[in-house]
Structure formats: C-alpha cells, structure tokens
Amino acid sequence: MMLRVQSRRRSKPLLQKLSELNWLIVIVVILIARVGFALLYSVAGGTVEPWAKKQVIRFVIGMAGMIMIAVIDIRLWMFLAYPLYFLSLVMLVIVSVMGQTGMGATRWINFGFMNFQPSELVKITLILALARYYHCLAKEEVGQYRRLIIPLLLIIAPVILVVLEPDLGTSLLIIIGGMSVLFCGGVRLWLFIVGLVAMVPAAFGAWGFMKPYQKSRVLTFLNPERDPLGAGYHSIQAKIAIGSGGIYGKGFMQGSQSQLNFLPEKHTDFIFTVLAEEFGLIGGISLIVLYVIVLGYAFITAMGARSQFARLLSLGIAVTFFLYMFINIAMNLGMVPVVGVPLPLVSYGGSAMLSLLAGIGFVLCAAIHRDMSISRGGAFA
Amino acid sequence: MVTYPDDQKYKLFTRRAGLISAGMLVLTSGLIGRMYFLQVVGQNQYKLLADRNRISLRLLAPTRGRILDRNGYGLAVNRTDYRVNIIPEQAENVEDTLKALNIILPVSERQKRRILRAVKRQRAFLPVTVAENLDWKTFARVNINIPDLPGIQPDIGLTRYYPEKDLTAHIVGYVGSVNKREIGRDPLLELPGFKIGKNGMERVLDLKLRGKAGNSRVEVNVMGRVIRELSRRNSIPGENLKLTIDRDIQKFTADRVRDESAAVVVMDVHNGEILALTSTPSFDPNDFNLGISQKKYDALLNDIRKPLINKTVQGEYPPGSTFKMMVALAALEAGVIDKDEKIFCNGTFQIGNTTKYGWKRGGHGFVNMVEAIAGSCDIYFYTIAVRVGIDKIHQMAARFGLGQKFGIDIPGEKSGLNPSKAWKRAARGASWQGGDTANVGIGQGYVLVTPLQLAVMTARLVNGGRAVMPRILMSNTDHINQNPAIIPYNRQHMATILKGMAAVINRPIGVAYAQRMGRKMERMGMSFGGKTGSAQVRRISKSEREAGVIKNYEKPWIERDHALFVGFGPLENPRYAISVIVEHGGGGSKKAAPVAKDVLEFMFVRDRRKAKKQERES
C-alpha cells in the first residue's frame, strides 16, 4: 500500500508527460485563437497590422508557457500557490500606486514590451491559492466557520484593489471564480443562499459607489434606446450587426457594421459581434462549441483527478473561463450590461490571453497528474 | 476496493461540480437561444437597419436648363466655374498650405479666418471652398502648382451666368440660394450650394428649368466618408426654354432708351410673339447670382427710376391719348357718332359745373373722327365719351385686353384698371360721374394700363380684330394663338381708326407730323402709324393754368408727364405692334414716337436684308 502510494507520488519523466498531454485540447485552443487572428485581420481592413500580428506573437509565447506549466510537477504549483498569489497582489498594489491610466481606469503596469494587467493574473493565482487552502483542510474543518476567514480574505483583498481601479467587471469575475472554489470545496450550502440574498442590498449599496459611466452602462443595458447615439449606441449597433449577420453571415471581411466602423471596440470586447456578423449563427455556435470542448475537458479533469488541489484548480479555471465567455458573449448579445470582459483567447489583449493560457496550462497539468495523490500536508511533504 | 482518505470530500465535490456544469449548460443554451432570436427571427429587421446605416443616398444635382432667345442665343446659361477647395485631412497644415497658395491666389485675412473656421467645424475629409469664380489663368496656375500645395483640390463646377447682363434681366430674372421658407418636398433644395430661381422666368418656370435630381447610392462608414458607389441614377437636366424675344431687337431697343426710365414692348400682331420687352433702367442679374452686396442692393432699391421693377408688365400708367382709339371704337359701334360727323372744338369742354380744357389752346375747330385722332382732340373725345357712356367704353377696352392679366410667364404681371360703373361702386363706394367718363375719354382719370396691354391693344386693332394673346415662350403656348377669338366689331370702323393713326405720323394734321418721321420712313420704302399720348402725372391746378402753360422741362423730373406711343407698321398689312412709355418724358410725339420709329425701322431693315438673302439663296 505504501509502495503504491509512493510510486504515485513520484514524478513521471518529461517525455512521458508530453505524450500524456492532451493534444486535442491544445489543437482546440489553437483553433479558438485562430478565430481571433482571422477576426483581427478582418477588422483591420485586411491587414495584420495593428492587431493580428501582435496577437499571434503573444499567443505563441502563451502557448509555450501553457505547455511549460502543464508538464511541471503539480506539487510545485501547489507549493508556489501562495507566493504567486501574493506576487499578483503586490502587482495590483503597484498598479494602484503608479499604473498606466487609460479609459478612465488605471489597470496596467508597463513592462516595456507590453502593458500587463495584474487583475487578469490574479484571477488565476487566487484559484491556485484557494485550491491549495481547501486541499489542506480535512472534511470536518471545511465546515468550521473560522476556516472561512482566510479564503474570504484571499478573495476580498484583490477585489478591493480591482474595484478601486475601477474595474467592476473583473472584480465580479474574481468573486464568482473564487466562490466557485469555495462552493465545490464544501462550504455549507445555506451560506451561499444567505450570501446571494445579501447581494441584493449590496447591489443597491454599490449603486451609490458607482461612477457615472458605470451607472449609465447599467441604465443603458436596461433600456438601450434611452440614448441611442450616446451610451446605448454600442448595444444597438452590436445588435444590428449580429442580427444582420443572419444564419450564414455576410462573409469574411464583408461585415458592413464591422468594416465601416459602426461597431465600437470591435477588436476587443465586441469582437464576438464581428464573428456573428461575418460568419452568422453558424460561426457563433461553432466558436461556442470549441469553448464547450475546453470547458468539458476541464470538468472531466476535475471529476477524475485524485487530489483535491487538482480538482479545485481545474474547476476554478473552468468557471473563470466560462465566466469570460458567458459575460462577453451575453454583453455582445445585449443580455448583460457592457462590462470590460474580453472574449477568451479571441479578443485583442495580452494579459487576458496569457492568463487564460496559463489557466488552461494548469488544467492540462492537473490532467497529467490526475492520478497523483498529494498529502494534505502540502507539496513535497 | 481502495478508499481514499478524503472520500467524502470528493463525493461532495462531484455533486457540486455537477451542479455548476449544469448551470453553465443552461446559461450557454441561453446564449444560443438569444443568437437564434437575433440572427434567425430578427435577421430581416436587422439587415434593414444595417443597410440604413451603411447606405447613404447622395443627390446628383441636375444641370439647369438654359434660357435662349428665339434664334438660340443664350440669355441664361451655365458657365464653368473654376474653384479651389482644400481638403483638410490631405493638407499637413492648412495654414501652411494657404500661405503657399497666397503667392498664386491672394487669400485675404477674412477669407482665411472663414476657411479655418470651416475646417474646424467640418469633418476632415470634406472639402472647404477657398475661392470661387476664378479666371482660367489663375486656375491653371493653381493646377500647375498642385504638388506644392498639399490638400488643395481644383474643382470645376457650373454656375448660372447671364451673358447679356442687364439686357433681359427683367424677363429672365436670376437665381439665388434657397432660403428656409422655400425648402419644400424636393430634397434637391437642401443640397448645399443649390440655386433656385428668385425672379423673372427663372422663378416662374423654375420647376421646368430645374430638372430632376439623380442619385448615387454610396456606402459610407460611421463618419460619413464614402467608401464606394453602389449604384447611380443620373440626373435629368432641366428643360431649355426658347423665348420669342429676339436678342438683337431687344438690344437695339434697350440701347435706344438706355438713358431713360422707359418701357418698350414689341409684338408680332399675328401670333402674339413678343419680340422685345424692355424696361430701363435695368440691372445685372449676375450680381444677384454671386450674392449682391447690401450697398449695391440698396442703391437699386432706392433709385427713383426703379430699376428692379419690370415696367412693361408691372408699371401701371394712365394711357392718355393712346386710349382714344377705344373710345372712338366704342362710340362708332354704339352708333352715337358717325365717322364723318364734325364736332366743334374751341379748347374747352363743359360738363356739369366744371370746365375741362383740351391740350391745344384755342381748339381744333371742326373735326371729324380721323382728324380728331390725328390731332388728338380732347374736346372731341370728351364729347363722344360722354355720349357713349363708360360701360360701353369699358366693354370695348376689355375686348382689347385692357384691365386683364395675360398670364405671361413673367412674375408680377399687373392688370391695370379698366374702370366701369360697377367697378367704382364696388371699389370706391361712389357712383360714377359724368366727369369720370370725360376723363376716361382722354385716357386719364381712373384708367390705368401696362405697356404690355397697350401693345396687345394695338396688335388687336391692326390684325383685323383677332384677340391674340401675348406670349414670350416659344415652346409651350402655340395652341393659344392658333385660332384667336375674333373681336366683334365693324371692320369699316377699324379702317377709320387706322386711318386716324396713320395720319398722326404721316399727315400735316397729325400731332407727330412735325417730327418728319413718316417722310424719313417713306424715303426708305417703309411706313408706320400710331398714336401718341401724354399722361398727366399730376393734375394741373387752375391757378397754374391761369399763370400760363408750364413747360414740361420747367417741372421737376418726377412731376413731368409720361410720354406714350402705341404704333404699328407697315401701314399696309401691319406686322408689328409697339408700345413705348418714357416715364416723365414729356410729350409723346417728341419722346416716345421717335423710339418706336427707330425700332420699327431697325426691324424693317433687318427683315428686308433677310428677305434678300433668302432670295439670293433660292
């Protein structure tokens, strides 16, 4: 018995790990990113400048990072979970002190070669940290209320920093992503129900703290025709673009709304609209199917992994990834207010792409190490 | 079976993860449902909205129809207009470009400010006009220097031009920018820089001249910049209008009365075609076209000789003695006088308590009708007017077109006034007096006519009593004079009248005999007749009369009598009728008749030359 456990604890050689890597998922990820390249090429009027080329370079770097993350021993990641979390927290603090400002919010740190957005990174590292925390708790301990203090602090710290930027969408994503780990980690169900109920007065409280542009976004969501040339313009034009795409779309680079600049932010948050206009319902559903494959894989990994860390990590990543996709597409379709959430792996932007690829790397890592059981004591104990 | 230490924890995890994945599936289905709703159910509606975004209809302005004289000379034409525009987005620096341009084409500080203001206001890809109406030389120099003038775009457009300047200003009118009140249903009018007729024929026949707008469906981006043309329907140019006016006659006439404040109408007596319609002083319609300065406009407006008024149709004058033919004809028709009956004229006429005076001191003695017309004997006409009564005179004058608007295609046509008992009762609330009839008998009092009406009256008198309608447009009114109504009166009476009118010029008893115009014409094998008139602008008071006749030239200009003349020629088979009014010109025989004679002579000479040429050719 001890021997068996010991053997499972031993790390596999690198080549074996590479062969165990799920190349199907890697291909799906490449396909998703290629959709992004094509759309960025299209909205730039048929050129690789200024977006598509950069996006490809970042993706290649991100892919290398993803595979690297996947083949590294999962115990090392568990060991690094807290340090990485604190590192990203420190970066958030740096942003709030001396970050780059744009569009009324301070979100970036300039690294010279790229502007990095620590709020994207923290989504992943928070899940690492929470997964580690719950991995180390015994079943009985999970139910204890005092065991809730640390995870809640882990969530609240980055949320406060991100809200201050201000970036409401990302903070919401952090909260829900974190909560999903708590939920699956075994925190009592009624606490979540109470939490949801408490959200209602909190939402009204938040209204008071919102900046005018945020309020107008919410109001515009509720009634886009309120101000068709102002705040409602994005929603209305996006709806026209998607609707006019029909079932088959207008064809690559033929989307009048996209090509003639009626769409705002068409290379970032509203890129799904370009896809829906140029490739229609079929194009939109195809992309969603690709996402579902990645999500399904993350769920299967979570269900089949032996260690609680791997399970919670995969699940948390899956939920985060889903939130990106859902909120962005729903926003494009006019179902939720306009919040700054990119379409995963497709929207132009480095931080989100690198963070998401890292996230998928962790899922692949969890899959490679699914049979490894890790003691509650932690990493290399 | 292997049990793991955290088995229970795993079970819980699986359950809850399952719950989450189920939730995700539901939400994802929601997305797909929404996409179905937008892209399948709503696709037609959204496609329409997308096209409305994308497609912009650009109007293509039609070329305005030209206005030509009867021989095809242009009176209102479209001239190429050389312009220079600047496209801000193509200029690196608008001010630098303007500075460079300044060497070739002076740009004043004021213009510069206007341009810079427009540049700021407009979208950067829309051209801003720098200068218009350049001459070819300047324009060519700008073109050559284009490489050094970033953003400058030479442009050729069309503007309205009136090559004859003031010659036909009152007929043709002018165009101007559309004002807010005029914007109606035609979207053309909202096109920047579009001009519409503001006066004259340009205004009355604007719809014909304007043509139909074409359009070009273009794809635009969100900024309104044209990406490409999708389809185009060319504009339909406006109709060219040919007038009955003969530019040469018009020019001769206008030159002849250039220094006067006068109106001359020349008409073909058979078909009513107006050959010349002159009103002086005139103005240059090109000034209005380019936007007249307030100072210039005020000067035109305040000129006592009223250059802006078309006196031929808008001027209403007492006809004076030119009205006597109407009175004579009415009396003959009514049988209240025989053409040979002699009436004694001692220079005064008693009606009621008032004494009316004839123009000739001491009177004409015994005169019959021909002598009365020739000598323009007031007493004779007082007498027969009172005999026949106003209503018969009114009836006769009406048949000859007085008191009537002809609906000629020139704006502002006045009806004059052909008075009657009923009219006075209605308009003045007073009954008609014998004295009123006497006044009308010599063309004074209530009666008012326009020069056009006088020409029509004369034409109908000499063409055998056919009620021709005057017309100025060659094309569209041919049917009107195909079978003109025949005025019912005795043709022998007409012969008497014409004999009198011939005598005015050609016999010693005629008032205009002294000018020897008849002889001069005869020497050239030509002839004409007519009737002079002097219309009192102001009643001569009794004290003035007692103080002796005041010579016209002693009065201030504005108080002098109008000089009138209606004429026709030749005497045998008359072909042309003419009416002349020289405002405040004094006597008709000295001021108005010579104008008619010269114009008729000019026309006869021309006709003869033309006939000879035809003969030679055949």
Domains defined for chain B, CATH in brackets: 54-73+164-243 (3.90.1310.10), 79-162 (3.30.1390), 247-298+309-617 (3.40.710.10)
- State whether residue B298 is helix, strand or coil: helix
| Closest-approach residue (CA) in chain A for B21 | A299
Encode B569-582: b = buried (16+ Cβ within 10 Å), e = exposed: bbbeebbbbbbbbb
Tell whether the model's pLDDT for residue B380 goes beyond 70.
Answer: yes
Number of residues written out for chain A: 381
Token couple for A251: 């064809």
Contact yes or no for B39 and A247 at CB 8 A: yes
What pLDDT, on the 0 to 100 scale, is given for residue B2? 43
Say what the alpha-carbon torsion angle B386, B387, B390, B395 is, to the nearest 10 degrees.
-150
Query: Is the CB of residue A274 less than 8 Å away from at least one CB of chain B?
Result: no
Asked if B81 and B159 touch (Cβ cutoff 8 Å), the reply is yes
Asked if B374 and B503 touch (Cβ cutoff 8 Å), the reply is yes
- Of B167-181, B330-344, B372-386, B392-406, the range with the lowest mean pLDDT is B167-181
Query: Is the CB of residue A243 less than 8 Å away from at least one CB of chain B?
Result: yes
Q: How confident is the model at residue A7 (pLDDT cuts 50, 70, 90)?
A: very low
What residue segments make up the domains of chain A, in order of their start? 15-368
* pLDDT tens digits for range B573-602: 999 999 999 999 888 888 899 999 999 999
Separation CA B55–CA B226 (nearest Å): 9
Asked if B495 and B303 touch (Cβ cutoff 8 Å), the reply is no
Catalytic residue among B261, B279, B321, B527: B321
H or E stretch including B355?
Answer: strand B354-357
| Closest-approach residue (CA) in chain A for B51 | A256
- Of B156-165, B181-190, B460-469, the range with the lowest mean pLDDT is B181-190
Separation CA B195–CA B160 (nearest Å): 9
Query: Is the CB of residue A257 less than 8 Å away from at least one CB of chain B?
Result: yes
Tell whether the model's pLDDT for residue A175 goes beyond 70.
Answer: yes
Q: Which residues of A touch B24 (CB under 8 A)?
A: 295, 319, 322, 326
What pLDDT, on the 0 to 100 scale, is given for residue B541? 57
| Closest-approach residue (CA) in chain A for B227 | A260
pTM: 0.65
What pLDDT, on the 0 to 100 scale, is given for residue B457? 96
Tell whether the model's pLDDT for residue B461 goes beyond 70.
Answer: yes
Q: How confident is the model at residue A3 (pLDDT cuts 50, 70, 90)?
A: very low
Separation CA B591–CA B586 (nearest Å): 7
- Highest mean pLDDT, choosing among A6-20, A253-267, B397-411: B397-411
Mean pLDDT of A354-358: 95
Contact yes or no for B50 and A261 at CB 8 A: no
Separation CA B144–CA B138 (nearest Å): 10
- Of A156-165, A219-228, B439-448, B531-540, the range with the lowest mean pLDDT is A219-228
Residue A1: CA count within 13 A, CB half-sphere:
4
Token couple for B322: 């030119």
* pLDDT tens digits for range B165-192: 899 999 999 998 777 777 777 777 777 6
Contact yes or no for B51 and A276 at CB 8 A: no
B554: left (phi over 0), alpha (psi -120 to 50) or beta: alpha
Q: How confident is the model at residue A6 (pLDDT cuts 50, 70, 90)?
A: very low
pLDDT over 70 percentage in chain B: 93
Chain B nearest-CA distance from A281, in A, is: 6
Chain A nearest-CA distance from B61, in A, is: 27
- CA A2 vs CA A7, A9, A12, B5: distances in Å: 9, 10, 18, 14
Q: How confident is the model at residue B612 (pLDDT cuts 50, 70, 90)?
A: very high
What pLDDT, on the 0 to 100 scale, is given for residue A209? 75
Q: Which of B497, B519, B573, B594 is nearest to B268 (CA)?
A: B573
Tell whether the model's pLDDT for residue B70 goes beyond 80.
Answer: yes
Separation CA B81–CA A84 (nearest Å): 74
Which of 6-65 (A) contact B at CB < 8 A? none
- CA A8 vs CA A5, A12, A370, B40: distances in Å: 5, 9, 10, 53
Tell whether the model's pLDDT for residue B226 goes beyond 80.
Answer: no
**Can you name the residues that pair with B582 across neighbouring β-strands?**
B262, B563
Query: Is the CB of residue A292 less than 8 Å away from at least one CB of chain B?
Result: yes
Contact yes or no for A246 and B47 at CB 8 A: yes
Q: Which residues of A touch B50 (CB under 8 A)?
A: 240-241, 243-244, 256-257
Separation CA B151–CA B149 (nearest Å): 6
Asked if B421 and B432 touch (Cβ cutoff 8 Å), the reply is yes
Percent helix, strand and coil across chain B, each to the nearest 5? 45, 20, 35
Tell whether the model's pLDDT for residue B491 goes beyond 80.
Answer: yes
Separation CA B139–CA B144 (nearest Å): 9
Mean pLDDT of A133-146: 86
B279 labelled catalytic:
no
What pLDDT, on the 0 to 100 scale, is given for residue A230? 59
Query: Is the CB of residue A261 less than 8 Å away from at least one CB of chain B?
Result: yes
- CA B460 vs CA B328, B339, B573: distances in Å: 15, 20, 13
Token couple for B12: 């819980």
SS (HEC) of B275-288 = EEEEECCCCCHHHH
Q: How confident is the model at residue A17 (pLDDT cuts 50, 70, 90)?
A: confident
Query: Is the CB of residue B226 less than 8 Å away from at least one CB of chain A?
Result: no
Tell whether the model's pLDDT for residue B546 goes beyond 80.
Answer: no
Query: Is the CB of residue A3 less than 8 Å away from at least one CB of chain B?
Result: no
Q: Which of B34, B295, B456, B440 is nearest to A330 (CA)?
A: B34
Residue B116: CA count within 13 A, CB half-sphere:
14
Tell whether the model's pLDDT for residue B395 goes beyond 70.
Answer: yes
A139, A240, A302 ranked by CB distance to B50: nearest: A240
Separation CA B315–CA B306 (nearest Å): 10
Say what the alpha-carbon torsion angle B463, B466, B467, B470 is, to the nearest 10 degrees.
-40
Tell whether the model's pLDDT for residue B1 goes beyond 50.
Answer: no
Chain B nearest-CA distance from A109, in A, is: 33
Q: How confident is the model at residue B244 (pLDDT cuts 50, 70, 90)?
A: very high
Mean pLDDT of B223-238: 81
